[in-house]
Homo-oligomer: A and B are copies of this chain.
Amino acid sequence: MKFFSDNTATACPEILAALSDVNRGRAKAYGDDEWTRRLDAVLGEHFGKEVRAFCVVTGTAANSLSIATLTPPYGAIFAHEEAHIVRDECGAPEFFSNGARIVLIPGADAKLTADSLTAAIENNPATVHTVQPTTVSLTQATEFGTAYRPDEIASVTEVARRHKLKVHMDGARFANALAFLGCAPADVTWRAGVDVLSFGATKNGALAAEAVVFFDLALVRDFELRRKRAGHLISKSRFVAAQLLSYVETGVWKRNAARANGYAQKIGAAAAEALIYPVEANEVFLRLGANGKQRLRAAGFEFYDWGSERSGEARVVVSWDQPEDEVLALCRELSRM
C-alpha cells in the first residue's frame, strides 16, 4: 500500500484513451499539429484570459525553463527554503538560468508572505557586486500540502511588482490546491499577479504532461528557444498535448484532485492530533514517532520519512488512483495509535 507520492500513480483512463484517439495519421512534428495548436485556446478558456501554453513532460523542466525565461544569469530567484526547486531538482534552476541564485526564504506552511519577501529583498540589495533580484517563485499547493489563498498570493506579488520582480508559480499540484480552494483558476494565477505557471498534470493522472502557461505573452519566444535547446520540445507533440487537452476538457483534473484531497482529509481526521500542517491538498504530514512509523510499515503501509529517518515524522501522499480500501485501512490503523 504505497503512499510514497502521487507520482507513483497510474495514468487515468480518460488520458490513456486520449493517446489512442490522437494516434491516427501522420501529423507534423514539434507542435505544428491540430492538438497542440488547440492548447492555447483550451487553457485560455480554463484561465479566462488569453495565454500561450507550451507542453513539457516534467515539472522540473516546466519550472526551470520558465524561471530561466524570467531570470538573467546574474539574477536572484526568491523561493521558500523548502520549495521543490530548492530541494528536489538537483540544481535545475541554476542550470537552465546559467547560474542564477535561489535566495532561500523561511516561513510557516512553506509559504512566502509579503513580509518575508520584503525582508529577503532588503537583505539582498542590488549593487554591481550582488546578484540582482528579478524573480519570485511560489508553489501551489506548497511542499507542505497547504494552499495559498488568492489574497495571500496577491500580497506577495504586490511586493514583487513594486520591486520589478517577475512571478513564477510551480503548480505541480495546482489542481489539488484549486479543488481545496474552490475558486477559479484565474483567482490564484494572473488575477493574483502570476506571470507564468507550471501547470502540472502528471501527478494528477497524466503519464507525463505539464503545461507552461504564460500570462505575460512578451516572453514566449525566448521560452520556445530555451525549450528546444534543452531537449524539451517533444517531436510527437500530439501525445503530450492530448494528455493536457483531455485533462482540462474532461474535467478529470478536478475529479482526480477532489478524490485524492478527500481521502487526505479522511486520513488527516483519523490522525488529527499527529498533524504537522493543516491538510489542504493531497498530502498529510504526521508526527508519529519512530515506533508509530515502524508499526505502520509493519502493517504494510509504505511512505517516506519526513525529514530524516530519525525524525519520527512521516509524509503520506494520496494518489488520484489510491484504492479506497488502502485509505480506509490506513485510517483505521492511525485511529488506533
Q: Which residues of A contact B (CB under 8 A)?
A: 2, 4-5, 7-11, 16, 19-20, 23-30, 56-65, 72-74, 87-92, 94-102, 104, 122, 128-132, 202-203, 207-208, 222, 224-226, 228-236, 239-240, 308, 319, 321-322
Contact = CB atoms under 8 A, between A and B. Distances in A.
Given A59-B231, A73-B91, A91-B101, 4 more contacts: A7-B30, A58-B235, A74-B95, A89-B228
A90 B60 contact: no
Nearest to A1: B26
A193 to B, nearest CB: 25
B30 A128 contact: yes
A62 to B, nearest CB: 8
Contacts of A20: 16
A26 B58 contact: no
Given A101-B102, A208-B234, A89 B229 contact: yes
Given A23-B11, A57-B234, A94 B90 contact: no
A191 to B, nearest CB: 28
Contacts of A62: 231
Contacts of A236: 7, 9, 11, 202, 207-208
Given A16-B23, A23-B10, A94-B101, A58 B233 contact: yes
Nearest to A94: B99
B202 A235 contact: yes
A88 B100 CA distance: 14
25 contacts: A4-B26, A7-B29, A9-B26, A11-B19, A30-B128, A30-B129, A57-B208, A58-B232, A59-B235, A63-B231, A72-B222, A73-B226, A74-B95, A74-B226, A87-B129, A89-B229, A91-B99, A91-B100, A92-B230, A95-B230, A99-B99, A122-B308, A208-B234, A208-B236, A232-B232
Contacts of A88: 129-130
A208 B129 contact: no
A5 to B, nearest CB: 6
A124 B240 CA distance: 29
A24 B308 CA distance: 30
Contact of A29 (B4, B233, B234): B4
A284 to B, nearest CB: 16
A4 B236 CA distance: 13
Nearest to A31: B128
B73 A228 contact: no
Contacts of A27: 2, 8
Nearest to A131: B91
Given A122-B308, A207-B239, A234-B57, A225 B19 contact: no
A41 to B, nearest CB: 21
The 7 closest A-B pairs by CB, nearest first: A61-B231, A94-B99, A60-B231, A2-B26, A7-B235, A98-B98, A8-B26
B98 A74 contact: no
A225 B74 contact: yes
